[in-house]
Amino acid sequence: MIKLNVVDETAPLKAVVLGIAKHNGPEPKLEDAYDPKSKEHIIAGTYPEESDMVREMEGFEAVLVKHGVKVYRPTVIPNCNQIFSRDIAFVIEDILIKANILPDREEEYQAIKYLIDQIDPAKVVYPPQEVHVEGGDVMPWNDYIFVGTYTAQDYPDYITARTNKKAVDFLTTLFPNKTVKAFELKKSNTDPKENALHLDCCFQPVGKNMAILHKAGFLIETEYEWLRDFFGRDHVFEITKEEMYQMNSNIFSIAPNVVVSDQRFTRLNTWLTSKGITVEAIEYKEIAKQEGLLRCSTLPLIRD
């Protein structure tokens, strides 16, 4: 049996599901793309090749294994994009919560059923249909659960709006010992520089008491200020709009002092190093073309 345990974003990682890029399927039609960045690359003729994405993910896996992490991969489904395992489920404490994802992506969850079958069924939770939630919007951080949301009336108009108010209520009920803190995110179906697809596109904790933040990803300035003050200005690395677009906040912590980052993120990586964090810098620029990066590709199961 797999005994789940995740209470924050950075504790030493023991087991993780890393997505997979094999048999990824053909380039999607423009009208079928889920996010503005994928659309941008489809239009430009620069949508990523499967072989490049497989190579990048193998590089990520090699770093995880080097640090002693048990790496699980989804069962390969032909012609299915299975890269972003963070979208299909997430773990808080010892409970795995199935994400209520876009209906077209339901089979991605079935590809990790062999793992689900190794978890105590009482510890696997299926939210009701009206609860919309994806793992990229949910961040356990000790006594808190940070959640990215979009709750305006035009929620149904945004394919980029993935987590709703009912998800906040659901998590609050499920984890009464935690403070669930929601943040309204900026959404755009057409402009990737004006779209925070998930909370981890504009915020992520690092180390034990630091964070990466992008102010313009938040719709409500006071919510951004709360988060900045929670970590303290001296402990926050503010990223620019261009860095948000390149997904500088979507790195991944193996431990408080070890981070996997994209080798392009030179300003961020220099800052992390200056804070005593070892940066495992890898190439991940092709994966990035689908508006997801390192955190999006992972589903942590066990952190010490």
Does residue 193 register a pLDDT over 80?
Answer: no
Residues 179-198 have a mean pLDDT of 80
Is 200 contained in some domain? yes
298 in any annotated domain: yes
Q: Using one digit for the tens of pLDDT, what is the confidence trace for 255-300?
A: 999 999 999 999 999 999 999 999 999 999 999 888 789 999 999 9
Q: Which of 37-46, 102-111, 141-150 is most confident? A: 141-150
Give the Cβ contact number of residue 78 at 10 Å.
8
Any domain includes 4: no
Q: How far is CA 291 from the centre of its chain?
A: 10
| pLDDT band, residue 37 (cuts 50/70/90) | confident
pLDDT of 35 over the 70 cut: no
Q: pLDDT confidence of 157, banded at 50, 70, 90?
A: low
Spatial CA neighbour of 210 closest among 196, 228, 192, 198? 228
Provide φ and ψ at 22, rounded to 5°.
-70, 145
Taking the alpha carbons at both ends of the chain, their separation in whole angstroms is 17
44-78: pLDDT as tens digits: 888 888 999 999 999 999 999 999 999 999 999 99
Q: What is the pLDDT of residue 266?
A: 98
- Domain of 219 in residue numbering reads as 13-303
Q: What mean pLDDT comes out for the span 153-172?
A: 80
pTM, entire model: 0.93
- Give domain status of residue 3, yes or no: no
Average pLDDT, the chain: 92
Amino acid 222: pLDDT:
97
The whole-number pLDDT of residue 247 equals 93
| 189 located within any domain | yes
> Which string of b and e fits 89-123 if b means at least 16 CB within 10 Å?
bbbbeebbbbbbbeeebeebbebbeebeeebeeeb
For the chain, how many structural domains are there in total? 1
Q: Is residue 8 situated within a structural domain? A: no
Q: 90-140 pLDDT, tens per residue? A: 999 999 999 986 676 788 999 999 999 999 999 999 999 999 999 999 999
The answer to whether residue 31 scores a pLDDT higher than 80 is: no
Contacts of 64 (CB under 8 A, 6+ apart): 13, 16, 18, 71, 254, 260
Could you tell me what percent of the chain has a pLDDT over 90? 76
Euclidean distance between CA atoms 184 and 32, whole angstroms: 26
**Can you give the pLDDT at residue 24?**
81
* Six token digits for residue 297: 């590709």
Q: Specify if 1 maps to a domain.
A: no
- Among 233, 286, 237, smallest CA distance to 262 is for 286
Compute the distance between CA of residue 147 and CA of residue 213 in angstroms, rounded to an integer.
14
CATH code of residue 83:
3.75.10.10
Domain-embedded: residue 5: no
Does 42 score more than 80 pLDDT?
Answer: yes
> Would the pLDDT of 156 be above 80?
no
C-alpha 140/C-alpha 9 separation (Å) is 7
Q: What is the pLDDT of residue 161?
A: 61
Scanning the structure block, which residue is given the tokens 């925070």?
196
Helix (H, G, I), strand (E, B) or coil at 213: strand
Contacting residues for 292 by C-beta, under 8 A, at least 6 apart: 83, 84, 86, 136, 197, 247, 250
pLDDT value for 225: 98
Q: What is the pLDDT of residue 55?
A: 97
